Amino acid sequence: MATSDSPEELVMPPSDLPSPPSDLVRQLQDQGLIGSSARFETLYGGRTNQVWKVLGGDGDKVLKLYQTSLRNPLFRNDAELEARCLKALEASGFVPRLRATGQHQNDHWVFYDHAPGSPWRENPEPVAELLRKLHSHPVLDVAPDGCNGSADLTAHGQKILDGCASETRRRLIELRPAHTVPATTRTCLIHGDPVAGNILVAESGVTLIDWQCPAVGDPCEDIALFLSPAMQRLYRGTPLTAKEVDRFLSAYKHPEIIARFEVLRPWFAWRMAAYCLWRVENGATDYAEGLRLEMETL
């Protein structure tokens, strides 16, 4: 799993990655969550957490064991927040059902129903409708405050750049947008990481997974993360076309929020470029193309 920017639905042969720790398996058995015949398939696509599909019992489940050693400056990795959101949004129909959560040594785990479908690849309209539904949901007191307005994005982007050391850091400081966008008073629960790999599409509907970095904040944040050229390149293989972006924005059907997003778009691109640079400098070379794409938009 990624710190949070990661899909869970790609399966590797069980021999390629380890099974859950034996004492964690016993813990799940003792709690009656799995039987002695349960089988595990490793789900991959992420960069930090360990995730398994659990086969057997009353339907397939997902076991996620959090790894908290890497401190990610953009995407929080909080098992407690994920559990809170899954529980609070259970009736919404667009999140998996939480079954249990607990602790294994120094790390936490969550256990929930496996959602059907494949990571999103095409047709942006259902994603726009999903995010609009989430952003229209009554605000839940389950998450911290997110970035709101250009002042917050300035501080956040600069904090990320403070952890960088290459010459590109200076260039990004020069490219920082100059216009001011005030904070909005119309905050809502946002997912915080609605990248293509965290959106599962099935005939039964669309499911939003990986709820470890939610916030109460500006809905433009979720819109920017989904549309981000870097995130689309990383998880779908290619950025959205201009036509696909327009289709998404039209399907979101909230002109006031979309107008605000358009004004904030350079700020989100600047912060994402800073994040991509941080990832590259910390060994994730696959973020280099994302850095280039975000800098192009600036």
pLDDT in tens, 198-209: 999 999 999 999
Q: Does residue 54 share a domain with residue 195?
A: no
Q: What is the CATH number of the domain that holds 207?
A: 3.90.1200.10
Based on the fold, state whether residues 210 and 70 are members of the same structural domain. Answer: no
Indicate if 135 and 227 belong to the same structural domain.
yes
* pLDDT classification of 37: cutoffs 50, 70, 90: very high
Same domain? For 225 and 291 the reply is yes
Give the span between the Cα atoms of 287 and 289, in whole angstroms. 6
Confidence tier at 296 by pLDDT (50, 70, 90):
very high
Amino acid in position 97: R
Instruction: Please indicate, yes or no, if residue 183 is contained in any of the structural domains.
Output: yes
Q: Which residue has the higher pLDDT, 46 or 198?
A: 198
Q: How confident is the model at residue 3 (pLDDT cuts 50, 70, 90)?
A: very low
- Across the chain, mean pLDDT equals 92
Do 174 and 98 fall into the same domain?
Answer: no
Report the alpha-carbon distance of residue 97 to residue 106 in Å, rounded: 25
In a domain, 2, yes or no: no
Q: What pLDDT was estimated at residue 1?
A: 36
Residue 131 domain-assigned (yes or no) = yes
Any domain includes 252: yes
Q: For the whole model, what pTM was predicted?
A: 0.92
How large a percentage of the chain has pLDDT more than 70?
93
From 95, 115, 135, give the residue that closes a domain. Answer: 115
64-103 pLDDT, tens per residue? 999 877 689 999 999 999 999 999 999 999 999 999 999 9
The pLDDT of residue 142: 80
Whether residue 199 is found in the same domain as residue 293: yes
| Cβ atoms 151, 183 nearer than 8 A | yes
| Same domain assignment for residues 293 and 241 | yes
Can you tell me the distance from the alpha carbon of 270 to that of 79, in angstroms, rounded to the nearest whole number?
28
26 falls within a domain: yes
pLDDT of residue 237 exceeding 50, the answer is yes
pLDDT band at 45 (very low <50, low <70, confident <90, very high): low
Q: Looking at the structure, tell me whether residues 104 and 139 fall in a common domain.
A: no
The share of the chain scoring above pLDDT 90, in percent, equals 86
Query: Domain boundary residue among 61, 86, 115?
Result: 115
**38 touches 47 (CB < 8 A):** no
Q: Has residue 218 got a pLDDT over 80?
A: yes
Domain residues for 105? 10-115
DSSP label of 112: E
Would you say residue 5 lies in a domain?
no
Last residue of a domain, one of 69, 91, 115: 115
Verify that 105 and 134 share a domain, yes or no: no
Asked whether the predicted pLDDT for residue 6 surpasses 70, the reply is no
Same-domain status, 269 and 237: yes
CB-CB neighbours of 17 under 10 Å:
15
User: CATH number for the domain including 99?
Assistant: 3.30.200.20
Q: How many structural domains compose the chain? A: 2
Domain contains 4: no
pLDDT of residue 290: 98
- For residue 1, tell me if it sits in a domain: no
- 104-114: average pLDDT: 95
Which of 237, 215, 224 lies closest to 286 in space, CA to CA?
Answer: 237
